[in-house]
Chains A and B, each alone.
Chain A
Amino acid sequence: MEFGLTEEQVLLQDSVGRYLADHASLDRARQFADGAEERAADVCTALAELGVSGLIIDEAYGGVGLKMLDAAIVAEQLGGNVTPIAFAASAVMVPLALQRAGSEAQKAHWLPLLAAGEASAGAAVSEAVAAREDARISASGGTLTGRALFVLDHAADVYLVADDRRKMHLVEAKARGLTSTRLTSIDKTRHIGELRFEGVAADPLPGSDDPAVLADVIDAGRIVLAADTLGAAQNMLDQAVAYAGERQQFGRVIASFQAVKHMCAEMAARLEPCRAMIWYAAHAFDEVPEESRLTACHTKAHLGEVGKFVAKTATEVHGGMGFTDLLGLHYWFKRIGFNRQMLGGPELVREEAARLQELI
């Protein structure tokens, strides 16, 4: 019995972490955020070689065949390094949907491309969580009509689209009748956007008649976004402690002021249990089905809250420097803000948690 990571998982963590530290530093994220790149091709290629894009894809389709906990470990690294790469939808939600509900032809076509990093996939499922602006997609006669907002990993070759009956479809980015618009968000390290469908021919996922599949896809996305927040928040805390150890005021390092120490202690105290929570949620996703939904909801909501607290507090520890673009701390702040709202903010997800327990 062991509640923790295996040696292989620690290795995965280290190899992804080391690559990102060496080659995908803040400067690279900044360059991506400032520029007009659709994709950070160098980072995508290198991470594909490390197995990141095919992480949970079966070996038969060119992937590594790992599980949600491995995906969470990688997501934590990506969040920690504010890596500008499509992961939550492209490497987790869409491959999962395909593997659980796709036809053989769909799998055989898309999974190897995704695993190799030669294609990327977006997820248009926000309306299945909470529709804004009354956006919805309806399916009839093999076509889709309507609007999908906040599509995750929007700069994609193919989209997974949930319709208003919670059935899922694949739609290629170049499909006729599809209009795609980037929605600029605070987080410039990941793309979200809007899709408009006017009678677009869609390719339904045959297994998605079972609504549990979409719920699983959303759970997976939530776990991965929460893990991204864990990494980002841990990094902000580490930066705050390091900065406080160097910055001097009143003739001493600010880390020796109790007010500053207590801010850092509170961040650590709230964040540390999140690590175990992510591990468990990701593990439960694959291995403890009776607990997995509730755990995923609470993990998403809880990391959203703790992340928000750490993002604010770590920024404060940096004083004016924290507020500048120069230091770049805001990339983490915004990453955490993004993860909090996408696929359901804390209040909405907790309401789901209550419903799952039949408290409503």
Chain B
Amino acid sequence: MDLSYGGEYEAFRGEVRDFIADHASQAPKGNGMRSKPVLDWQALLIEKGYTARTIPREYGGHGAEPDILKSRIIAEEFANAQVSNGLGGQGIQMLVPTLLEIGTEEQKKRFIGPTLRGEIVWCQGYSEPNAGSDLASLTTSAVLDGDEWVVNGQKIWTSTAKQADWIFCLVRTEPEAPKHKGISFLLFSMDTPGIEVRPLKTMTGDSTFNEVFFTDVRVPKQQIVGSRGEGWFVANSILRHERGMLGDPNATFSRLNALIELMQQETVDSRRVIDNPVFRDRLMQIQGEVMAMRFNDMRILSAKLNNKDASLAGMIVKLQGTELRHRLEGLAIDALGELGLLYEDSPLLRGQGAWQSQYMFYLGLIIGGGTSQIQKNIISERGLGMPREPKPQQV
């Protein structure tokens, strides 16, 4: 164990703190993802190395050496200050790492920089009406015609498809191959003719996801990541990144701090909520769990850097992280009682209604990105080496 926060790190923490103190007023608060404050803030954070920190400069990142202590300090300080630590989303958190790993040089140069800067917003076209948990049974097809793929079919639950400029999409290119081996991974512009997006309203009241229909959508042949038929492999490498991002303990830590403040401010019968031992104990339980997940996160980062195996520690993050976050938001609602029910533009609304919307949103994330049940299948099979579900007998 070598976590010595030597002088260098203390100085670095000081720098981050000073930066936040000096610039927090410029940080976006609930602005749209293309607004000037968001894009400016993103550019500033990349320049300072507080986001896209280790992505090479030639691709539009900050280009710093990986240093998990510094990454931890940045995550902590932004979380403590409850200030935005930059843009997230499927493009930045899932596609960029995948392109870095598998993309061609041309793809890296073309897509990573604009994605990091927030100029290209992506959506993820995986799920279909009949291919959810069983994603590999997807049927949206792409047939090569000259120098172009011709895409036909339908996606569903596609988050931000309405706002997105581009989509990374799984399509079946080898209909004769076994189901996992017939899939390819395409990138294409959402402006391509033949794409229709129909928003689906979610339980939160927002239309965060959509149905997307493809009719003879023509995609240049080279906009494939990995080779033909390797899409499942590429997608799995993405899912690894997605599962790391869903349930991020630092984001949860930030919400925990907000929850602690809330419980100190709100009162029941003129007593602070935190003075109620039952609420206090529930808060402390969650604090302990958040702590465990943050140390687990440090272990994962360190294992990556030092080429050690912490695969089980990584495999459990999506399951534990999203369930924990859902419970945390739920505790805030309980602490608020009837006030916790208020929503949208209601007077007396607390925290802009975020406790309720996050509570519901995180239920969505428990389902999205591979449900909790699917996570448990993965943990038991790949993590613990238990046998796969036997295939039902053909009748």
Partner-B contacts on A (CB < 8 A) = 1-6, 69, 241, 244-245, 252-253, 255-256, 258, 260-262, 264-266, 268-270, 272-277, 279-280, 283, 287-288, 295, 298-299, 301-302, 305, 346-347, 350-351, 353-354, 357, 359-360
**Chain B residue with Cβ nearest A280:** B295
Q: Does B192 contact A (CB under 8 A)?
A: no
Question: Known: A1-B67, A298-B291. Is A269-B319 also a contact (CB below 8 A)?
Answer: yes
For B260, B287, B289, B383, the residue with the greatest tally of chain A CB atoms inside 10 Å of its CB is: B287
Measured CB to CB, the closest approach of chain B to A126, in angstroms, equals 21
Q: Which of B280-313 contact A (CB under 8 A)?
A: 280-281, 283-285, 287-289, 291-293, 295-296, 298-299, 301-303, 305-306, 308, 312-313
**Structural contact, B280 and A269, CB atoms closer than 8 A:** no
A268 to B379, CA, bound (A): 8
**Structural contact, B320 and A273, CB atoms closer than 8 A:** yes
Using Cβ atoms and an 8 Å threshold, which residues of chain A touch B280? 351, 354, 359-360
Measured CB to CB, the closest approach of chain A to B96, in angstroms, equals 24
Our pick among A6, A269, A359 for the contact of B379 (Cβ within 8 Å) is A269
Using Cβ atoms and an 8 Å threshold, which residues of chain B touch A258? 377, 389
**Structural contact, B303 and A273, CB atoms closer than 8 A:** no
Our pick among A1, A255, A264, A270 for the contact of B3 (Cβ within 8 Å) is A1
**Structural contact, B383 and A268, CB atoms closer than 8 A:** yes
Q: Does B131 contact A (CB under 8 A)?
A: no
Our pick among B277, B295, B320, B375 for the contact of A276 (Cβ within 8 Å) is B295
A305 to B291, CA, bound (A): 14
Q: Does B373 contact A (CB under 8 A)?
A: yes
**Structural contact, B387 and A255, CB atoms closer than 8 A:** yes
**Structural contact, B281 and A283, CB atoms closer than 8 A:** no
**Structural contact, B384 and A273, CB atoms closer than 8 A:** no
Measured CB to CB, the closest approach of chain A to B165, in angstroms, equals 36
For B3, B291, B388, the residue with the greatest tally of chain A CB atoms inside 10 Å of its CB is: B291
**Structural contact, B373 and A262, CB atoms closer than 8 A:** yes
Q: How large is the interface on B (under 10, 10 to 19, 20 to 34, 35 or more residues)?
A: 35 or more
Measured CB to CB, the closest approach of chain A to B192, in angstroms, equals 41
Our pick among B284, B316, B376 for the contact of A273 (Cβ within 8 Å) is B316
A245 to B69, CA, bound (A): 41
**Structural contact, B264 and A273, CB atoms closer than 8 A:** no
Interface 0/1 of B200-238, CB less than 8 Å to A: 000000000000000000000000000000000000000
**Chain B residue with Cβ nearest A260:** B386
A258 to B386, CA, bound (A): 10
Q: Does B347 contact A (CB under 8 A)?
A: no
A99 to B319, CA, bound (A): 43
**Structural contact, A351 and B281, CB atoms closer than 8 A:** yes
**Structural contact, B381 and A256, CB atoms closer than 8 A:** no
Contacts A256-B390, A283-B1 aside, 8 further interface pairs with beta carbons under 8 A come to A2-B2, A261-B381, A276-B292, A280-B298, A298-B291, A298-B292, A359-B280, A360-B275
Question: Known: A1-B67, A2-B306, A270-B320. Is A241-B386 also a contact (CB below 8 A)?
Answer: yes
**Structural contact, B275 and A4, CB atoms closer than 8 A:** no
**Structural contact, B288 and A2, CB atoms closer than 8 A:** no
Q: Does B346 contact A (CB under 8 A)?
A: no
A6 to B1, CA, bound (A): 6
**Structural contact, A276 and B287, CB atoms closer than 8 A:** no
**Structural contact, A302 and B288, CB atoms closer than 8 A:** yes
**Structural contact, A2 and B1, CB atoms closer than 8 A:** yes
**Structural contact, A261 and B380, CB atoms closer than 8 A:** yes
Our pick among B283, B303, B377 for the contact of A4 (Cβ within 8 Å) is B303
Using Cβ atoms and an 8 Å threshold, which residues of chain B touch A302? 288-289, 291-292
**Structural contact, B1 and A279, CB atoms closer than 8 A:** yes
Our pick among A3, A6, A268, A301 for the contact of B301 (Cβ within 8 Å) is A3
**Structural contact, A268 and B316, CB atoms closer than 8 A:** yes
**Structural contact, B292 and A277, CB atoms closer than 8 A:** yes
Our pick among B67, B305, B376, B385 for the contact of A266 (Cβ within 8 Å) is B376
